[in-house]
Amino acid sequence: MTSIQLAQDYLNGTSLDLPNGHFIDGRFVSGNGQQMESFDPGLGSAFATFAIGGADEIDAALTSSRKAFEMWRRVKPSERTAILLKCATALRANADRLAVIETVDSGKTLSEAMGDVQGSARLFEYYAGAADKLDGRSVNLGPDYTAFTRREPVGVTAHIIPWNYPTSTFARGVAPALAAGCTVVAKPAETTPFTALVMAQILTEAGVPEGVINVVTGLGRDAGDALVRDPRVNHITFTGSVGTGIAVTQAAAPNITRLTLELGGKSPLVAFADADLEAVAANAASAIFSNAGQICSAGSRLIIERSMRDDLMDLLREKAAAVTYGHGLRDLNMGAINSDLHLGRIVSHVDAAKARGCNIIAGGAVTHDPETGKGWFFEPTVIADLAADDPAVQQEIFGPVLSVQLFDTEDQAIQLANGTDFGLMASVFTRDVGRALRMAQEIDSGQVTVNDYWAGGVELPFGGNHKSGYGREKGIEGLDAYTTSKAVTIKNS
């Protein structure tokens, strides 16, 4: 069935065919039998239940993963390549179903969810190509020794998945882990448990051996905490908030477990007056309203040369007003906020800005799907003329809320761009190549794009500096977390 047919069936009351157990050792198990409701943010009501695991389910998953590691690390790299290619094909074959599940579970639009699924397939394809190229190097110690390095898998890897990109964050960690010869225990977020479970089943049916991918659903403070604390875990890939990132780091410390941290951001889009004004406005709107602003790398700060202010604010007001929104399956411009808890956080940020007398030139309020009057939505919002220390500039709001700051000189622009605790992403808009290169050099972040906010792909490394975290995912660098180097030295005589 196509995604359109599946979407129509769901909106007409047909329930989605969803697993409600954990995926351990290649099959669904009910575990302790505890269940929790999952909500459709586009409607604001529960649509399914899922299993709530704890320490026992994590123990079973880790036992399975450790056993599978002893087999998977010995599988010939070219066989791992073949299996990962089959995974990419299987994800594409199941793209319609996965995209509909992701839309209903997360609140995002169907097009966004389909993009995430296709991107996930591409991650498996990309890392399939890397699995048989993880070579070491020969080291010259002189005539008496032969020395070389081996690039070996780190072991069992834990993946703590957030709710804003459940499908692609799962694939972003699992694909390179599998390519490297590692096994996986994943814990999806409590508001988006389903796509990781369904993907684990699809990937196992495509040829990933039983036990290589395990998924335990449940609460962060129970299942998540039990997973990251366990000494059988050799690497943790965590994506989520700074606060939880700190808690995970502390839990991992006694075992000296390796970590990749993908935390928040407050990423700037810096525009100079020589840039194409329409392109700046279109990119600024896309950078903050895509996925309803629930993106770690969202362009949540627009930093513009003072002379552009009035024309650009007019354009942005128009763009914000033109954004259509509604249930993700109706596939308009913008979907829902993932949970009423998170909607409340966005409201408290914007209400505080209102109380401070900030200049809100667009949006600023909770809204609903105009067709049904239901769901958790927030208006596309622009707050103009903010000082560098305003909380709306400094704090991650993680919603469709853009803050605007003005500058007069290039030095000021750099200072403002680097003026938060974060360092994930940045974009520069200018026609001056020299200035673009200077800005790319001076901005302190994991990635900088020029004249196109979202320029990138699975081939490019992604990650942050400072409180945005450390380590890199995607690209060839994405394999570093899952491999370790062993030096072997042989005396020749």
Q: Kindly tell me the number of DSSP H helices and DSSP E strands found in the chain.
A: 15, 22
**311-350 footprint of ligand NAD as x/- string (CB under 6 A):** ----------------------------------x-----
- Residues 144 to 163: which contact ligand NAD by CB under 6 A? 160-163
Binding segment for ligand NAD (CB under 6 A), chosen from 69-77, 172-180, 182-190, 273-281, is: 182-190
The single residue of 102, 190, 262, 305 carrying the catalytic annotation is: 262
Lookup result for tokens 């394999």: 479
CB of 220 to ligand NAD, least distance (A): 2
The single residue of 57, 296, 379, 473 carrying the catalytic annotation is: 296
Nearer to ligand NAD, 125 or 473 (CB): 473
262 is catalytic: yes
Binding segment for ligand NAD (CB under 6 A), chosen from 62-70, 91-99, 106-114, 218-226, is: 218-226
Size of the site for ligand NAD (CB under 6 A): 26
SS3 311: helix
First to last CA, the chain: 67
Interaction between residue 197 and ligand NAD (CB under 6 A) = no
Interaction between residue 298 and ligand NAD (CB under 6 A) = no
Strand order in the sheet with 425-429: 359-362, 381-384, 401-407, 301-305, 268-271, 425-429, 447-450
CB of 159 to ligand NAD, least distance (A): 9
Interaction between residue 244 and ligand NAD (CB under 6 A) = yes
Q: Is 438 left (phi over 0), alpha (psi -120 to 50) or beta?
A: alpha
Interaction between residue 116 and ligand NAD (CB under 6 A) = no
With CA atoms as reference, report the closest residue to 229 among 251, 247, 210, 245.
251
Interaction between residue 248 and ligand NAD (CB under 6 A) = yes
From the list 121, 284, 296, 439, which residue makes contact with ligand NAD (rule: CB under 6 A)? 296
Nearer to ligand NAD, 247 or 336 (CB): 247
- Whole-angstrom CA distances from 113 to 51, 170, 374, 443 are 23, 13, 21, 31
Interaction between residue 473 and ligand NAD (CB under 6 A) = no
Binding segment for ligand NAD (CB under 6 A), chosen from 11-19, 88-96, 260-268, 316-324, is: 260-268
Contacts of 63 (CB under 8 A, 6+ apart): none
Nearer to ligand NAD, 86 or 345 (CB): 345
Report which DSSP code applies to 297: T
Binding segment for ligand NAD (CB under 6 A), chosen from 34-42, 131-139, 235-243, 374-382, is: 235-243
Two tokens at 2?
């196509």
Two tokens at 80?
């791992």
102 is catalytic: no
Q: Is 406 left (phi over 0), alpha (psi -120 to 50) or beta?
A: beta
- Return the exposure string of 338-364: e unless at least 16 CB atoms fall within 10 Å of the residue's CB, then b: bbeebbeebbebbeebeeeebebbbbb
From the list 264, 268, 364, 419, which residue makes contact with ligand NAD (rule: CB under 6 A)? 264
Interaction between residue 224 and ligand NAD (CB under 6 A) = yes
Angle between helices 77-93 and 110-131 (to 10 degrees): 170
Q: Which residues pair with 49 in a beta bridge?
A: 37
The residues assigned a catalytic role are 262, 296
Question: What residues line the site for ligand NAD (CB under 6 A)?
Answer: 160-164, 187, 189-190, 220-221, 224-225, 228, 239-241, 244, 247-248, 262-264, 296, 345, 396, 398
